[in-house]
Amino acid sequence: MSGGEVAIGIDVGGTKIAAGLVEITSGRVLSMHRVPTEPEMGGEAVLRKCLDLAGRLAEEALAAGTCLAGVGVGVPELVSPEGSITSNQTIDWRDVPVAESFGRIAPAGVESDVRAAALAEARYGSGRKCYNFLYVTIGTGISCTLVQGGLPYRGARGNALVLASGKLTCWCERCGGFAVTVVEEFSSGPAIARRYADLTGDSAATSEKVLALAEAGNATARAVVVSAAELVGGAIGFAVNILDPEVVVIGGGLGTAGGTYWEHMVRSAREHIWSEQTRGLEILRSELGEHAGLIGAALVGWRAGRAHGVGHEEER
């Protein structure tokens, strides 16, 4: 008896790599391994770790009698429509033959992590009931992608995902000068930890701890969390004004943390949405949570397999 169709998903983050075997019909994670990324060891070393994980999972798939349709890799970088990695913010894989290396295991695809996660939300998660949604991920980094008909819009160069890494300039009424802000450097997880440390000298506090302190009523933590949420909410509202999505789906560790950050982010997003018709749109939390990136990477691999004529599962 042959089992169902599976794909390997590898979600490469700044601190850890999560790799798993995903059942395509259900999106269920059948097996998962986690290792530290250690990007400081260099692109080749990170690639070797990922290949080891993929090799182990391919053996597991074989032992389980499943049909391995492909292997997909999600990276926290810009990826061109042709699958070339074009930035080196976290891991330098610009001149490394990533897809080719995995191609020895199964048909392989590489995608930007936010688009991989959005693919998963579209097929199995919060985006499955709508044709069109804006997916925003907030964690170590902040980025977004517009999904239409189950597919993320890549843009001409694959760069249509930068929500918060570019500079924003506002004229300041109080001093008559210009205030330049980078939302990611103010509202992301590392930014919350750093801003709290700057105010208190507690450089050991993680963003999770600062969020917990804010919930417990610590005034400094609360000020940091509320301002971070208000600023990113403004950026989301701005994106909604331009794209007019049916709904917004928010993922990432910080984006799905709930509490003060969530409440102020959503309130601020609505405050920045100009049209009254749009302002009440649904803003949903990711249903797949921390596994969205891994499941999405597996879908990227499955899609690569389909392009090679492997697999039998229907495209949604």
Binding site for Zn ion (CB under 5 A): 172, 174-175
CA distance 212 to 218: 9
For 32, other C-beta atoms within 10 Å of its C-beta total 16
Minimum distance from residue 175 beta carbon to Zn ion (Å): 3
Minimum distance from residue 230 beta carbon to Zn ion (Å): 17
Token couple for 315: 């495209």
Minimum distance from residue 219 beta carbon to Zn ion (Å): 24
Q: Are 290 and 255 in contact (CB under 8 A)?
A: no
Q: Which is nearer to Zn ion, 172 or 204 (CB)?
A: 172
Token couple for 110: 């590489």
Q: Which is nearer to Zn ion, 156 or 172 (CB)?
A: 172
Q: Which is nearer to Zn ion, 149 or 177 (CB)?
A: 177
Amino acid found at 70: G
CA distance 269 to 34: 34
CA distance 109 to 184: 28
Q: Which is nearer to Zn ion, 29 or 168 (CB)?
A: 168
Minimum distance from residue 172 beta carbon to Zn ion (Å): 3
Token couple for 118: 């959005």
Minimum distance from residue 164 beta carbon to Zn ion (Å): 21
CA distance 288 to 209: 23
Q: CB-based burial of residue 26 (10 Å sphere; 0-12 exposed, 13-18 middle, 19+ buried)?
A: exposed
Q: Which is nearer to Zn ion, 156 or 175 (CB)?
A: 175
Minimum distance from residue 179 beta carbon to Zn ion (Å): 6
Q: Which is nearer to Zn ion, 167 or 174 (CB)?
A: 174
Amino acid found at 57: L
Q: Are 153 and 147 in contact (CB under 8 A)?
A: yes
